[in-house]
Copies of this chain bind each other. A is one copy, B any other.
Amino acid sequence: MKPQLVLIAEDETLIGFMLVESLIDAGFDSLVSVTAREAISALELDAPRFAALLTDIKMPGTETGWDVARRARELSPQIPVIYMTGDSADQWRAQGVPGSVLLQKPFAPAQLVTALTSLLNDAGMAGISH
């Protein structure tokens, strides 16, 4: 079976590598964008190819992870969304999208995998028979 593709938006290279590696171990492919703009372009080119979005909140440029997630949901309404942050967690209740997960750094790779797979399993069943 061809692995599912996760869109990662993360400007710190080292963290990006760790995320990609954790996802490979869990059986997923990844595409890494290093700015919010780049992630939004990847979504606008072809959103349905992505099974999920994993996004940092603060990134270089005027757009943030909050913007990436809203655009992802406009193009692919059921897409699972995971935010990662070291410091802007408090804004999540006002700026996050429904059904999203926020991981506060530092988090263990296994926390990411559980969040991602739980959201995918739920979204798969919500998408049946509409």
Contacts and interface: CB of A to CB of B under 8 A. Distances in A.
Interface of A: 1-4, 15, 18, 26-28, 70-71, 73-74, 77-78, 89-111, 113-118, 120-121, 124-130
A115 B107 CA distance: 15
A83 to B, nearest CB: 10
A111 to B, nearest CB: 5
Given A89-B129, A90-B128, A103-B121, 16 more contacts: A1-B18, A3-B106, A28-B110, A71-B94, A77-B90, A77-B128, A92-B129, A93-B99, A93-B128, A93-B129, A94-B97, A98-B99, A102-B124, A107-B124, A108-B117, A113-B114
23 contacts: A4-B106, A26-B110, A27-B108, A27-B109, A27-B110, A27-B111, A28-B108, A74-B91, A77-B93, A77-B128, A77-B129, A90-B128, A93-B97, A93-B99, A94-B97, A97-B98, A101-B125, A102-B128, A103-B121, A108-B120, A110-B116, A127-B130, A130-B130
A115 B102 CA distance: 17
